Amino acid sequence: PPPPPPFMLRRPPRSTHTQSRRQRQMCIRDSVYAMKAHGHQKRASGDPYFSHPLEVAAILTELKLDDATVVAALLHDVVEDTEATHQEIEELFGSEISQLVDGLTKIKRLDLVTKEAAQAENLRKLLLAVSRDIRVLLVKLADRLHNMRTIEYVKPEKRSRIAEGTLDIYAPLAGRMGMQTVREELENISFKVLNPDAFETINSRLERLREESGNILADIEIELTKQLSAQGIESEVTGREKRPYSIWRKMERKHLSLGQLSDIFGFRVIVPSIDDCYHALGISHQVWHAVPGRFKDYISTPKQNDYRSLHTTVIGPHRMRVELQIRTWSMHEIAERGIAAHGLYKDAPNAQTAEA
């Protein structure tokens, strides 16, 4: 049978994070190797080149990925950009890491060759090239994220092309892998590069709104928490503004002006159990008016990337339209970190071998 798509979840998560002294020493050794290999190369920002792989590794550390992934991040540009060879990496770091680095080198070449190719085709190739090990894709996403965070140092004529590729390929990819935080950041930086005027307009409107409404986010958080706890539900409620790119997309989709856009606040309501999710939903609909057509049950029907939550919009405290996302802690973990939250990515190469 053909191998399953890399996003399918087949195994329970495994905890991997007890770092031994040996692992720490390994990591130091790997960093020193990568630092020496990049020598005196410089980034467009003028920083030593080595700051880049280090930042990429830091992003993956934050996502709590395994050691091999982090080491591959430190080495991800070494074969393409320095004298180091594939063979050398294999001898020094073993086959697991050298295969990851190999996958990354391949994508890098693919990037260069297919920049003009149809985007869907590009994405498909990208996926095929790395489907052997999802970790390659995770490093590539972190690589792109750091490059986007530092895009202001890139020549203006190159910026748009990079931002387009990010918006067309990498942001949707992050979305399909369930990594919403990464997706949003990629989208927002790209939007700022590609459409600076729209970005600025929305951003300054958000700032004004923030000043006018004062502590409205905190007020609504407190009110929601209070209503739920009055019914015996212990919850953690956090509100946030939508990001400029998602506001802009909604304006485009619904042909709205900025002034007509009402629900720019979203709240996450995290509760202990699935029962509590439905109970909290019932309470919020009893206490406030639900906006028709806005209820979605992604618990009984999860999204393809395994995202689960209840969504609804109510006319909440202060008569503000607020969007609620109701979920448990484990749903929240998956909503934020996606495939990185599963520990599943680690099993990908073995699963492949077993089926071959």
Which residues are identified as catalytic? 80-81
Scanning residues 233 to 252, which ones bind Mn ion (CB under 5 A)? none
The footprint of Mn ion on this chain (CB under 5 A) covers a number of residues equal to 2
Say if CB 151 and CB 164 are below 8 A apart.
no
55 binding Mn ion? (CB under 5 A): no
Scanning residues 252 to 271, which ones bind Mn ion (CB under 5 A)? none
C-alpha dihedral sign at 299, 305, 306, 308: negative
Residue 265: its H or E element: strand 265-271
**Closer by beta carbon to Mn ion, 30 or else 77:** 77
Q: Interacting stretch for Mn ion, rule CB under 5 A, among 9-17, 74-82, 278-286, 346-354?
A: 74-82
Sequence length of the chain is: 356
CB of 166 to Mn ion, least distance (A): 13
In the three-class reduction of DSSP (H, G, I as helix; E, B as strand; rest coil), residue 42 is classed as strand
Phi, psi of 327, rounded to the nearest 5 degrees:
-160, 165
**Closer by beta carbon to Mn ion, 143 or else 306:** 143
Q: Interacting stretch for Mn ion, rule CB under 5 A, among 138-146, 156-164, 184-192, 336-344?
A: 138-146
CB of 76 to Mn ion, least distance (A): 6
Query: Measured at CB, which residue is nearest to Mn ion?
Result: 143
Phi, psi of 169, rounded to the nearest 5 degrees:
-115, -55
**Closer by beta carbon to Mn ion, 182 or else 270:** 182
323 binding Mn ion? (CB under 5 A): no
Chain centroid offset of residue 253 CA: 23
Using CB under 5 A, which of 102, 133, 143, 276 touches Mn ion?
Answer: 143
**Closer by beta carbon to Mn ion, 185 or else 276:** 185
CB of 137 to Mn ion, least distance (A): 14
Q: Interacting stretch for Mn ion, rule CB under 5 A, among 10-18, 71-79, 111-119, 196-204?
A: 71-79
**Closer by beta carbon to Mn ion, 77 or else 185:** 77
77 binding Mn ion? (CB under 5 A): yes
CB of 147 to Mn ion, least distance (A): 7
Residues 85, 35: Cα–Cα separation, whole Å:
15
Q: Which stretches of the chain are DSSP H helices?
A: 21-38, 51-62, 67-74, 78-81, 86-113, 119-130, 134-149, 156-165, 171-176, 180-194, 196-213, 216-230, 244-254, 274-287, 329-337, 348-355
Angle CA 303–306–311, to nearest 5: 50
Residues 340, 60: Cα–Cα separation, whole Å:
9
CB of 73 to Mn ion, least distance (A): 9
DSSP 177: T
Question: Which residues of this chain interact with Mn ion, rule CB under 5 A?
Answer: 77, 143
